[in-house]
Amino acid sequence: MFFGSNIKFLRKRRKRTQDEVSFALKMNRATLSGYENGIAEPNLQTLAALSKYFGISVDTLIKKDLSLLPESQLAELERGKDIFIKGSSLRILATTVDSENEENIELVNEKAKAGYKNGYADPDYISELPCFQLPFLSGNKKYRTFQLSGDSMLPIPDKAWVTGEYLSDWSQILSGGAYIVLTLDEGIVFKIVENRITADHKIVLYSLNPLYEPFEVFLNEIREVWKFVNYISSEIPDPVLPREDLLATVARLKKDMNIIKRQMKT
């Protein structure tokens, strides 16, 4: 039970005094102090009132030690994205912070990807990953960087480093957006996503490279979703052909195909 420590934590986080909170909730300050110190137990009406005041579900106030959550997840809760309110379990992300309590961006290279499939929720495993900071990214969100392998997302090249923003509410996946998805069977994949969660409880993953066929993943097979933010690569992408050159290339290919067809008929 973390109720007392949580309401004290939230009150101080919002820089409110016991007098201010107790006045807003029309309760005695000594009663609120008793709740915070674990001396008194609130009734259901009081639990509901404090839940509404802080915008945090009763389940979360009671079951989760909010002081252990990273800033990104606290910010999500304060923006009303409490997963308990939506009737499913709260996803607690294993993460690391630097000496100034700022969240790191952990680096999952190609060799570490196999271990990440099983160790993604293990704080000890995550703490062993290399980490860094990108000062131009928001301090209120959680990011992680993964190394690509293969050519399925060309023109983003093989071995590029792709950074994603942690997405706790999968209903916010935007069809046509790029996401890093951790699945039970495929492991870490970086794809364009079609959101079919509401209708079919699944998503469809597409590669940028048309040689690769799309495939479906049901929600019970997904473990993490990261929204694409940027990528870093030492390779320069191939230049895009000007429109005139592109049309000429297509016309030349059609001409070659017609020649091949005529040869096949003879």
In the chain, the domains with their CATH numbers are 3-68 (1.10.260.40)
pLDDT digit string, tens, across residues 184-226: 888 999 999 999 988 888 999 999 998 999 999 998 889 899 9
Cα distance between the two ends of the chain = 83
Distance between CA atoms of 18 and 138, rounded to whole angstroms? Answer: 31
Is the whole model's pTM more than 0.75, yes or no? no
Given a cut of 90, whether residue 56 has pLDDT beyond it is: no
CB contact set of 182 (below 8 Å; sequence gap of 6+): 116, 117, 120, 188, 222, 223, 224, 225
